[in-house]
């Protein structure tokens, strides 16, 4: 008994010492990071436990579970009065000022050398270490290429998207018309399809289904996610030591993916050179319509020889995968859960709409046809509102050395982070009736009603308001893709991608309803998708 009692005491002392050491390290890390953080203006009110040294530790401990409540509280108390407030930092998330709606346009109108979206992203994404080379995020040329080329080429790449969806969905869901198959919604269905569709647009058919390429590209995206978790655990003074070690992970995954992308890029550059030189063998050659081609054409026309280097183009493919795959998968995950948790008539209406438009357009998907899928567009947009993935999707950093003064008269010094709250706006009855309910066709009713009107009736409709009801149209009350000149340039591709995929699923497969919608969990300022299995089987008599 004495030996057991002694062991018991030693074990508990050891546990106590470990816990005390961990808490001490935690407190020191918070203190050191706070010393290097920008000083936020004194007049601003704080939510949470306030801004004292003792409050900083409480905020970090409670922020993981209470940030949502703090934001809602600040929105009611301060934003409704046209005032900004401070969201306190917690381990992994910096302090930021939440700007009210009355100041949103002011924030968006500021030039990039005063308020910078890119600088805010660079800090959050640990751009010095997580993206192979700091140059990739310091000069996000890949975003420029997408912004300049993707929308204008959407119609041309639709057949490739359709082909990829047809192959990938059947590969995951099967062709059994008798037995339902249980599929993990995120890991098997969405992450088994979306990376292939994305890379069909980025690097083409020959690589987009390569298992080794996909494994390492997904590894790269997870490295970036891991950087969110790892770096805040260390004081910023140590980042220069741990950063180079951590960077070996994304570099390794990039080196593994470039085995497949570099040969394609080098061959494409050579093909362009021969075509330009008038090689007779290339008289009828047409460049594939993908990101590689768009980059070569854009960089050539703009004289960006640095962006014509094969390894630079290969690097650019990595952040595009990170930016598109997980956010698209989370959007699709929430939308399917919302639709399958709603009345069965919702899924049936989406199937009917898809079938009708597909047949009207000669049994093919067209840009015009996808644009006419009002119900499906609405169902996805409503899910983006109802099941928001983050508390804020618009953030900027003060980069002007002299700072900037807001319309409220608050002076923000260099380094301050400003954001615009999306979660409370998305659930504000001022903007949305029955704000906490999922109303799949909230945004499609007016569009369908307009199509049934006479020409005289249409003349009295507010067309601007009608156009703003689509999922890709951003605004102060629809920020799922951001807003302003830095809104997501790939949102048009995402809309086409999801519509084609969902339409195919509803037309060719039966999906069993979800009896009870799983509860979404919030960790800090981000919503964590619940783990869900769905049951699916091929239709015996297909819709089309």
Residues 6 or more apart whose CB falls under 8 angstroms from that of 214 comprise: 195, 196, 199, 208
Given a contact cutoff of 8 angstroms between Cβ atoms, the answer to whether 374 and 445 are in contact is no
Tokens of 203: 């690097």
Given a contact cutoff of 8 angstroms between Cβ atoms, the answer to whether 147 and 153 are in contact is no
Of residues 509, 492, 466, 183, the one with CA closest to residue 355: 509
Given a contact cutoff of 8 angstroms between Cβ atoms, the answer to whether 74 and 98 are in contact is yes
| Dist CA 507 CA 514 (whole Å) | 18
Tokens of 253: 């995954």
Per the rule left: phi > 0, alpha: psi between -120 and 50, beta: everything else, 235 is beta
Helix (H) / strand (E) element for 98: namely: strand 96-99
Burial 408-417 (b: 16+ CB within 10 A, else e): bebebeebbb
Given a contact cutoff of 8 angstroms between Cβ atoms, the answer to whether 214 and 203 are in contact is no
* Torsion, Cα of 18, 19, 25, 27 (10° steps): -170
208 is an annotated ligand-binding site residue? no
| CA angle in degrees (0–180, nearest 5) for 515-517-523 | 155
Of residues 324, 277, 316, the one with CA closest to residue 293: 316
For strand 417-421 and strand 392-398, is the pairing parallel, antiparallel, or unpaired?
Answer: antiparallel
Burial 433-449 (b: 16+ CB within 10 A, else e): eeeeebbbbbbbeebee
Helix (H, G, I), strand (E, B) or coil at 43: coil
| Dist CA 247 CA 148 (whole Å) | 30
Annotated binding site for heme: 488
Annotated binding site: 488
């Amino acid at each position: 008994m004495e030996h057991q009692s002694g062991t018991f005491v030693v074990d508990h002392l050891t546990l106590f010492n470990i816990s005390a050491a961990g808490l001490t390290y935690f407190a020191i890390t918070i203190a050191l990071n706070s010393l290097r953080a920008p000083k936020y203006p004194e007049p601003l009110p704080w939510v949470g436990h306030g801004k004292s040294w003792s409050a900083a530790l409480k905020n970090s401990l409670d922020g993981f579970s209470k940030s949502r409540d703090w934001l809602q509280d600040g929105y009611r108390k301060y934003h409704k009065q046209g005032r900004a407030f401070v969201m306190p930092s917690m381990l992994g998330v910096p302090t930021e000022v939440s700007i009210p709606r009355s100041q949103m346009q002011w924030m968006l109108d500021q030039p990039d050398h005063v308020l910078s979206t890119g600088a805010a992203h660079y800090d959050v994404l640990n751009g010095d270490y997580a993206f192979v080379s700091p140059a990739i995020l310091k000069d996000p040329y890949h975003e420029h290429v997408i912004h300049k080329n993707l929308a204008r080429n959407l119609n041309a790449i639709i057949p490739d998207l359709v082909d990829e969806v047809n192959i990938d969905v059947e590969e995951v869901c099967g062709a059994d018309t008798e037995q339902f198959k249980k599929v993990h919604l995120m890991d098997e269905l969405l992450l088994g399809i979306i990376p292939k569709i994305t890379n069909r647009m980025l690097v083409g058919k020959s690589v987009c289904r390569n298992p080794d390429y996909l494994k390492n590209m997904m590894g790269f995206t997870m490295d970036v996610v891991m950087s969110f978790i790892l770096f805040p655990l260390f004081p910023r003074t140590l980042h220069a030591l741990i950063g180079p070690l951590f960077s070996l992970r994304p570099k390794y995954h990039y080196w593994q993916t470039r085995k497949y992308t570099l040969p394609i890029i080098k061959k494409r550059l050579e093909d362009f050179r021969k075509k330009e030189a008038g090689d007779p063998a290339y008289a009828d050659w047409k460049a594939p319509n993908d990101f590689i081609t768009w980059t070569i054409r854009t960089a050539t026309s703009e004289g960006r020889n640095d962006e014509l280097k094969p390894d630079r183009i290969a690097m650019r493919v990595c952040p595009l995968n990170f930016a598109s795959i997980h956010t698209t998968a989370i959007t699709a995950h929430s939308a399917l859960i919302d639709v399958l948790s709603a009345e069965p008539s919702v899924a049936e209406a989406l199937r009917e709409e898809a079938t009708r438009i597909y047949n009207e357009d000669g049994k093919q998907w067209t840009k015009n046809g996808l644009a006419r899928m009002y119900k499906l567009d609405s169902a996805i947009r409503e899910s983006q509102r109802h099941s928001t993935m983050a508390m804020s999707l618009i953030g900027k950093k003060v980069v002007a050395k002299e700072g900037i003064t807001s319309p409220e008269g608050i002076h923000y010094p260099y380094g301050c982070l400003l954001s615009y709250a999306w979660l409370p706006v998305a659930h504000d009855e001022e903007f949305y009736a029955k704000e906490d309910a999922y109303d799949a066709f909230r945004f499609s009713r007016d569009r369908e009603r307009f199509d049934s009107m006479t020409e005289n009736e249409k003349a009295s409709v507010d067309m601007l308001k009608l156009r703003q009801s689509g999922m890709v149209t951003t605004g102060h009350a629809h920020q799922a893709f951001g807003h302003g000149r830095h809104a997501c340039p790939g949102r048009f591709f995402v809309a086409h991608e999801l519509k084609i995929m969902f339409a195919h699923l509803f037309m060719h497969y039966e999906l069993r309803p979800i009896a009870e919608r799983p509860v979404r969990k919030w960790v800090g300022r981000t919503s964590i998708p619940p783990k869900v299995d769905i049951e699916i089987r091929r239709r015996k008599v297909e819709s089309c």
